Structure 1
């Protein structure tokens, strides 16, 4: 009997057994109140699963190991026999040198002369930074502000009525007295720098000296003359 015939018989037995189990499941299903169609489906499923399982477990072909080659086929080594190594061929030095002959020193090429070193570039001339001209402080001129010469007290103990100068009221007259100015000729002799100083230092009355022409009025009054404003002051029309 061949292996194929044995496998067919095994598979047939497995499926018959599975069918019996399926029939038993169908009977239990009918007894349990299941319908006929449901019992048939359960029987087929049970028979199919169990048939496949039994066939795989019982009828699968078992692979056979290949026969090992007998040890007798191998040629045994003769005891005590030592394998001989091939004789080493010694090459003559002359034969080995024929393939790679060293050329004589005279035949070697001369080394190429080294390239002449490039001259270093000349350093760029440094830009000269022009020196800044020294700042010379301007010399003092006569036009600079200068405080007019002051008197400690009026000459002869009596001061001129500075209110006769248009623009000089009682308050400004008191301020002029504090600065040592008591007479017309003092004001008439002021230079431009002294006028500038007075214009800047009369608190509350800056610029009054130039604006009201104190110099011109003071010169007239210092010479004994009168102005329209001084007449009004003497008549009591002002202040």
Structure 2
């Protein structure tokens, strides 16, 4: 009986507060917001129902009934698992596997034998009876290089045209101050053409006197 009376009193208080807030809201809207009576009344009704519902949920929700004495204790005991049998001992941790020995470093591959410096081409002690060819007609051979070639025994186009790759390598390496010139300027191909009686664009310029 007492609980019913208390609930009714609480309900009256909650909705009374809601109605008071709704009335205040209606008055404020009419005075400050220039709302019409109908608009303010509609807004106040909305505030009344929303606020009343919220307060009812907050303050009038039924509380859970008291538990019977001893119930919680028995429930807790029933939930606790019972241990049976001998205690289980944790298995010993497995010993870490021994680290593998580092693989033996691969033996370095034997170094390739250093390439030979080539083979010296056969030279002449002097130019043939007809006289030395004008080696300056080969692009890359100037007056100084022509003298150097003559000193090594090279006087004629057909000599240079017959050089093998190994012989080219030797001459490239032994042209003091001009190393590598044979390969860079392609002497052998030019000499083949000139030895056969042909001409190159460069040899034509030399013949005209445009170079030296």
TM class by shorter chain equals: 0.3 to 0.5
TM-score by length of 1: 0.41
Question: Which structure has the highest helix share of the two?
Answer: 2
TM-score by length of 2: 0.46
Bigger Cα Rg: 1
